[in-house]
Structure 1
Amino acid sequence: MTEARSRFRTFLYEFWLFGLKQAWACLFGAYLLFWIILTKLWYPLDDWLYRYDFLLLCAVSFQALLLIFRLETWREAGVIALFHVVATGMEVFKTSEAIGAWHYPGQFVVGIGNVPLFAGFMYSAVGSYIARVWRIFDFRFNYFPPRWLAILLVTAIYVNFFTHHFWFDLREVLLAGSLAVFGPSWIYFCMNRTHRFMPLVLGCFLVALFIWFAENLATYSQIWIYPSQGDGWELVPASKLAAWYLLMLLSFVLVSLINEVRSPERGDAIPQ
C-alpha cells in the first residue's frame, strides 16, 4: 500500500511538472493567443492602427524579449525564422485569389499579398514551442531516422501543400510515410529526474490536436476564416488535424537540424 501510494504521489507530482513545463514552453503561443482574443473582444485603435499591425508589433516585441532574456537562443531564433519564411510562402499561395483556401478578413498595412505579416508569427510560435520544449524536457530518442530521410519526407510534405491544388493530393501517402519513417521512434522526456517515453508520432499528433484547438479560437476571433465560415463561425473540420500533424513534422525536423539528437541511455549524440 505504501509503495502504491508513493507511486501515485510521484505520478501526480510529475503530471503537475509536465503541465508547468508545457505552459512555459508555450509562452510565445499563449501570449499571441491572449492578444488575439483580447483584440476580438475589445480593440479601440482600429482608426489609426489596424488590428493585424498591432498584433505584429506585439509579436515582434515579444520575440525580442525572448532573445534579450535568453529564453531562446539565436540559433533557435534562426531556425524559427526559417519556419516563419517557409510558412509565410505557403500562406501567400493559399490566400491568393486563384486558391482562396482561407483569407484574412481585416485590413493591414504591413503584409505580403493577401497575408498580414503577423500571420507568420503564428507559425513562429509553433517553432518556438518545439525549440523550447526540446530543451526544457531534455529530449532524447530511440530509433530516430537518418537526417536525409527526415528532410526528404518533410520536403515532400511541404511541396504537397502546394501541388495538391493542381495534382493528386498525396496526404494519405505522406501520412503513411510519416509512420514508416518516424513510427519506430520513441521520444524520451524528463519532468523531474526520470525520463518517461512515448511514440514520437503520438507526441506530434497530440501537439497538432492542441494547435487545432487554438486554430478554432483564432478563427472564432476572426484572425483568419475558412470559406465554410463565411456565413458564421463553425468548428474547423477535424480533417485539418492531418495538415497540422504534417506541418508539425516539418517544424520538428527543422528544429532537429540545430539540436543534437541524443540517445536515452547516456545522452550521447546519435550520428546523423
Structure 2
Amino acid sequence: MKAFKQLIFFGWEQALSCLFPVVIFASLAITQIIPLPFLPRYDWLLIICLFMQLWMVYSGLETQDELKVITMFHLIGLALELFKVHMGSWSYPEQGYSKIFGVPLYSGFMYASVASYLCQAWRRLKVELVKWPPFWAVVPLAAAIYLNFFIHHYWIDVRFWLSGLVMIVFWQSWVTYEVNGTRYRMPLALSFMLIGFFIWIAENIATFFGAWEYPNQTDAWSLVHLGKVSSWLLLVIVSFLIVATLKQVKGKNSTRVDTSPFL
C-alpha cells in the first residue's frame, strides 16, 4: 500500500512537471478538431505557447533561471528545425504567418517543453547527481551529439557510437530523487532511455494531431519508426547534460557566495 501511495505521489509530481508539454499537446488536439478563426493554426499555437510561458513565470511555476534555460533550448531546437526541414527530414505543411523558411516558430517551444519538464522535475523531486562525470567529458559529448544531428546528412551517422560512449561515460553515474520524503535512486543511463521512450510516444501523438509530418506520413498517418527512439534518446541526453551542467555551475557559485568571508 505504501508503494502504491508513493507511485501515485510520484505520478502527480511528474504530471505537474509536464504541465507545459500537456498544454502543447492539448492545443494541438483542440486546434486540429476545432479550427480557430482569424489566424492560421500554427500562429494560434505560437500565441498559446507564449501565453503559457508568461503565465508559468508570472505564477511562480517557473523561475527566472529556468526561463533562461528554456529560452536557450527554444533557440537550439529552432536551429535544428530549420536545418532538418531544409534537408527534408520532416515538414510543416500548413500555412502560417509565423513560419520562417518553412518552420513555424511554435516548434521551438516543443524543445523548450522538454527543458521545462527537466527543470520542473529537478526542483520538485529534489534531484541530485551521484558520480557525475567531469566537465571536460560532459561538454564535448553533448556538443558531439548535437552536431551529429547536422553532420550525418553529409557524413556517416555516428549516433550508435555516441550512445555507446554515453554508456561508458555515465556507467557509474546515478540520479537520486525524493518522493514524499523518501529518497530513491536510478542509473542515469536508464533514466535517459525511459525519458527518450516516452518522448517517442509523445511524438506519435504530436504527429497524429499534425504538429509536423514525416515523409512517410504524407498520405496518411502512420506510427513513427521505432528507430527514432535513439534520436530522442540522444536529444534527451543533450538536454539533460545542459541542465545538469548549469545546475552544477550554479551550485558551485552559490557555495562560493555562501562561504564568502565578506558576507
TM range (shorter): over 0.9
Report the Cα offset of residue 51 of structure 1: 0.3
- What one-letter code is carried by the residue in structure 2 that aligns with 1:86? I
Report the Cα offset of residue 143 of structure 1: 1.3
SS in 2 for 1:213: helix
Report the Cα offset of residue 261 of structure 1: 8.4
2:56 pairs with one of 66, 86, 108: 66
Report the Cα offset of residue 247 of structure 1: 0.4
Q: What's the counterpart of residue 244 of structure 2?
A: 256
Indicate yes or no: 2:161 matched with 1:173: yes
- Aligned-CA RMSD value: 1.7
Deviation digits for residues 128-162 of structure 1, max 9, x if unmatched? 00011001100112111112211110100011000
Q: What's the counterpart of residue 220 of structure 1?
A: 208
- What one-letter code is carried by the residue in structure 2 that aligns with 1:207? I
Superposition pairs of residues 26-175 of structure 1, within 5 angstroms: 26-45=18-37, 48-96=38-86, 99-175=87-163
Deviation digits for residues 185-212 of structure 1, max 9, x if unmatched? 1111111111111111111111111111
8 Å contact 1:139–1:187 — kept in the other structure? yes
Larger deviation, residues 251-260 vs 35-44:
251-260
8 Å contact 1:36–1:55 — kept in the other structure? yes
8 Å contact 1:95–1:114 — kept in the other structure? yes
Report the Cα offset of residue 66 of structure 1: 0.7
Gap runs ≥5 in structure 1: 1-8, 263-267
CA distance in 1, matches of 2:80, 2:249: 28
Q: What's the counterpart of residue 190 of structure 1?
A: 178
Q: What's the counterpart of residue 233 of structure 2?
A: 245
SS in 2 for 1:102: coil
2:11 pairs with one of 19, 26, 29: 19
8 Å contact 1:76–1:258 — kept in the other structure? no
Larger deviation, residues 27-36 vs 203-212:
203-212
- What one-letter code is carried by the residue in structure 1 that aligns with 2:5? Y
8 Å contact 1:75–1:258 — kept in the other structure? no
Report the Cα offset of residue 219 of structure 1: 0.6
8 Å contact 1:216–1:236 — kept in the other structure? yes
CA distance in 1, matches of 2:110, 2:50: 11
TM-score where L is the length of structure 2: 0.93
Report the Cα offset of residue 111 of structure 1: 2.6
Gap runs ≥5 in structure 2: 257-263
Deviation digits for residues 203-257 of structure 1, max 9, x if unmatched? 1111111111111111111110100111211000010000001000111111123
Find runs of 4+ consecutive structure 1 residues off by over 2 angstroms. none
SS in 1 for 2:155: coil
TM-score where L is the length of structure 1: 0.90
CA distance in 2, matches of 1:76, 1:148: 24
8 Å contact 1:83–1:254 — kept in the other structure? no
CA distance in 2, matches of 1:154, 1:261: 16
CA distance in 2, matches of 1:218, 1:144: 33
